[in-house]
Structure 1
Amino acid sequence: MTRLSVEMLAADAPPPITSAGHAQLGIAVLVGIAVIVLLITKFKLHAFLALTIGSLALGAAAGAPLDKAITSFTTGLGTTVAGVGVLIALGAILGKLLADSGGADQIVDTILAKAGGRAMPWAMVLIASVIGLPLFFEVGIVLLIPVVLMVARRGHYSLMRIGIPALAGLSVMHGLIPPHPGPLVAIDALHANLGVTLAFGILVAIPTVIVAGPLFSKVAARWVDVQAPDRMLPQRPSEELERRPGFGATLSTVLLPVVLMLAKALVDIVVDDPANTTQRVFDIIGSPMIALLAAVIVGFFTLGRPAGFSKERLQQTVEKGLMPIAGILLIVGAGGGFKQTLIDSGVGQMILDVSKNWSIPAVLLAWLIAVVIRLATGSATVATVSAAGLVAPLAAGASTTHTALLVLAIGAGSLFFSFVNDAGFWLVKEYFGLSVGQTVKTWSIMETILSVVAGGLVLLLSVII
């Protein structure tokens, strides 16, 4: 970013709600993050409440009037939910439809029928990556763990040889690929191009998941050689269906929003004329809301109808898909409120002033900030939305490509070393029947490999592009 663009950003931005200097603002940031960390880890407070209180603590420490701090927080919350709330809701509906119709099982069974032996870990990566596109991480785990356990038991595989690739596929989608909440929030905060970010995200995700999945699983299986626990071999929670959608129809439905968003990005690059009719059409159908809405509507016919769902059953699926996302929406919204409080307090301008003479690349700085918040809070989503607020000023004046890479750097950093303050840590531990030490040597190390490899690839792309 040039000095001129920094000055223009400062001129266009509204005056900060506090007159604090750089030192006080730095302390305020530390206080805000420390309050969030303490409330989440020590007092086990919900992340929404922790982010809300942390935002107010940040404003108070920065010397901002309480009413203005409250206004900043609520404005940021409303803007963030307005920007990504519909997308999260549509993704949840599509994921629930995929699970209830048996479409997810169809993808899993088809791929497993064609894989075996040494190919099985690679099949698990493919399954998790495809299924993980429209699903939240926790939902993906619940959906795929039964498959992982059954494959490991029937095929006499080490649980880590099958489980690590599946977890890697889910996690890399969660951290790097929209329409997951974290990447969407970062894209919104940095005003990044979604299609370009998606394209680079897939480019980074493929080698990353190979290293952290099938390759690392060989090492993890030697470190922790366990079999699928009997007590966790589950029965399918949903009712048995007489019919279920075909593999091709299911896969096409899942990939439809991705294809539409990538097509929009391609047309934007090739045509590059906002007045062109073709580009205007693709700008509409490739927008994330329309792309996801199209997938949901198509899914009613390609997933619901083959499964024999009535109109009432489809309505129930939509309602059940929406119910669990209230907490996610609140956390994402509160993260946006925290971000806005950071910006309105002048922290963004402080980062610009302090870092403009640094030789450290912006993408590396973005990755490091996300890593610190991830280690502190244990939440990839909190790390992403908080880091996006801190890094957003660095995107001003940057090219479309480098803005997208900043988003991916944040996403990569948000995956770093999952530990006991991360709900995902305990999900993996309990489902796989591991001790805390075994979970660290497998799941936590895998997450770190994902973060480092993805961060390194993003840094490399920022240098060569």
Structure 2
Amino acid sequence: MLTGPLLIGVFLLAIAILLVSIIKFRLNAFIALLITSLVTSILVGMPIGDIASTISGGFGSTLSGIGIVTGLGVMLGKFMFECGAIETISNAILNKFGEKNSPAAIAISGFLTGIPVFGDVVYIMFAPMLRVLSKKTNISMVTFACAISVATTCTYSLVIPTPAPLVVSESLGIDVGIFFVYAILTAFVATITGGILYGKFLDKQDKKNGHFYTFEDIEEIEDELEATKETRPMPSFMKSLSILLVPIMLILLGSFVPLALGDNNSVVPLVKFLGDKNVAMLIGVIYAALISKPYITRSISDIMNDAADQIGLILLITGAGGAFGKVLQATGIADYIAGSLSQFSIPILLLCFLISQIIRCAQGSTTVALMTTASILSGTIAASSVSPILCAIAICAGGIGLSLPNDSGFWAISRFFKISVQDTIRGWTVGGFIAGLSALAFISILSLFQNVLPGLL
């Protein structure tokens, strides 16, 4: 196989093939990743008999770690959406904050609902309400778009059970419960800076420049929202929140109880079993189905089947990303890139962030960027003195910002909130980048105390 700088050339060519496949030829990301994996293997001179097994091995090992929990996570989010739990949570937070502080309320709502629900679903659900709020409060629509999109992407990039951070945690072999605690704190800090504070700046800027949207169709939206409020039975706030908290609390107990009691305590095996991410999410889905039953108009089976239809492509893309990462490892590309960058004495946390951010910016997918970066740097992280949990968070932080028009999420935000491309860049691309940088700054501070903070070493 090739060695030295030629490996870098093959890697850059592989990224170019991936970009052209997705952007120019609009190939499905699953097919594009498989083609890129195959071409990369051939170009570096991998033995022909090893190519298929390496790709399938990477695909299988990735899904064995996250396949079940990803599928269950989509089902959990589907139940929250169908029974009205997401709407209940967002309305309660909005009422608590008031209209003046509604962007902050929307950001927190997006932060919570973005954990079990994928971004496009959150945007679809919130868009009508946000356009009505913008009209009523005279707060810029770009501010609301920034608040919800940055918040949901922070949780998507950083907080399990979403696929991207799960893949990173599996690749680096870290405890998902401890990772969850530090990741959700980091995501919250990033949401405040990139979603709320920067959103306020956008509102002041738009007021100063007289830049507002007219909302010609707003009356129809208002009528639909009022009709929904009057006719639809909704779960209480605590019931709604409990659907989200049950699996999370089980996972946290499974991680922290053994730390507190020690592995020899008789209770620990049971707690570890219930706190296993797959078991906890299964219990969470069963609980969600029982709580949702009085409030849904369709059968539990139909909702699960709909969720299963969405899961398929997500798992295929995730598995193919794992296959590409395995090829990078098996061919020596990952080790060479990590070694080359290490010569520049770049701090490991910054290195994790930079590689993830560059790949994210280049090809548009947060999931692909995080998976690829974790594969490239896994060996370097293991050999470093910095907590692998903080390195994992730095990788995830790099996947938040600099979303460009090669990202499908960019167009989803523009389309659902009916804002211009320029405003999407102002609110989402820049807001996400600020969120990512603030996440990196926060974990850099945490690294100074990693010897005393629980679970980091």
The TM-score normalised by the length of structure 2 is: 0.91
Per-residue deviation at 1:147?
2.5
Q: Distance in 1 between matches of 2:108 and 2:324?
A: 36
Q: What is the alpha-carbon distance in structure 2 between the residues aligned to residue 371 and residue 171 of structure 1? A: 14
Q: Does 1:444 align with 2:433?
A: no
- 1:324 aligned partner: 310
Question: Alignment partner of 1:325: what SS?
Answer: helix
Superposition pairs of residues 343-362 of structure 1, within 5 angstroms: 343-351=329-337, 353-354=339-340, 358-362=344-348
Match of 2:454 in 1: none
Q: Please state whether the residue corresponding to 1:118 is helix, strand or coil.
A: coil
C-alpha separation in 1, matches of 2:80 and 2:180: 22
Q: Distance in 1 between matches of 2:345 and 2:423?
A: 39
How far 1:462 moved relative to its partner? 2.3
Query: Deviation above 3 Å: which 4+ runs of structure 1?
Result: 222-225, 227-242, 351-358
CA RMSD of aligned residues (A): 2.3
User: Counterpart of 1:374?
Assistant: 360
**CA deviation string 1:210-267 (max 9, x = no partner):** 1111211122224443237344875579999642211111101112222222222222
Q: Is the 8 A contact 2:179 2:389 kept in 1?
A: yes
The 3 A distance-change label for structure 1 pair 144 and 221 is same
> Which is further off, 248-257 or 105-114?
105-114
The answer to whether the 8 Å contact 1:103/1:244 transfers is yes
For the residues of structure 2 that align with 1:338 and 1:186, how far apart are their CA atoms? 14
Aligned counterpart, 1:92:
74
Tell me which residue corresponds to 2:370.
384
- The reply on whether 1:255 has 2:245 as its aligned counterpart is yes
Shift of the alpha carbon at 1:160?
2.5
Give, as a single letter, the amino acid of the residue that structure 1 aligns with 2:215: P
Contact 1:339 1:386 in 2 (8 A): yes
Please list, as runs of the form range in 1=range in 2, the aligned pairs for 1:195-344 lying within 5 A after superposition: 195-224=177-206, 225-227=211-213, 229-231=215-217, 234=221, 235=224, 242-273=232-263, 275-304=264-293, 306-307=294-295, 313-344=299-330
Give the 3 Å change call, closer, same or farther, for CA 43–314 of structure 1 in structure 2: same
DSSP 3-state at the match of 1:464: coil
- Whether the aligned pair in 2 keeps the contact of 1:363 and 1:462 (CA below 8 Å) is no
Q: CA deviation at 1:300?
A: 1.5
Structure 1, residues 257-288: CA drift from partner, whole Å, max 9, x if none? Answer: 22222222222322342x43222222111121
Which among 417, 430, 434 is matched to residue 415 of structure 2?
Answer: 430
C-alpha offsets along residues 313-356 of structure 1, whole Å, 9 cap, x if unaligned?
Answer: 11001111121222211111100000111111122332454455
Unaligned runs of 5+ in 2: 451-457
Aligned residues of 1:148 and 1:166 also touching (Cα < 8 A):
no
Aligned to 1:3: none
Q: Are residues 121 and 352 of structure 1, via their aligned partners in 2, closer, same or farther at CA, if it must alter by over 3 Å?
A: closer
Contact 1:55/1:341, CA 8 A, preserved across alignment: yes
Distance in 1 (CA, whole Å) between partners of 2:382 and 2:392 is 13
> Structure 2 counterpart of 1:113, which letter?
N
Consecutive unaligned residues in structure 1, runs of 5 or more:
1-18
1:385 deviation in Å?
A: 1.1
Query: Is 2:131 the partner of 1:149?
Result: yes
8 Å Cα contact 1:228/1:432 also seen in 2: no
Question: Please, which moves more after superposition, 249-258 or 430-439?
Answer: 430-439
TM-score by length of 1: 0.89
Matched, 1:68 2:53: no
Distance of 2:122 and 2:369 partners within structure 1: 20
The reply to whether residue 404 of structure 1 matches residue 394 of structure 2 is: no
Residue 189 in structure 1 maps to residue 179 in structure 2: no
Q: 8 Å contact 2:104–2:147 — kept in the other structure?
A: yes
Return closer, same or farther for 1:349/1:112 CA change in 2, 3 Å cut-off. closer
The range that moved more, 149-158 or 283-292, is 149-158
User: Structure 1 residues 247 and 455, CA, compared in 2 at 3 Å: closer, same or farther?
Assistant: same
Contact kept? 2:145, 2:427, Cα under 8 Å: no
The answer to whether the 8 Å contact 1:94/1:295 transfers is yes
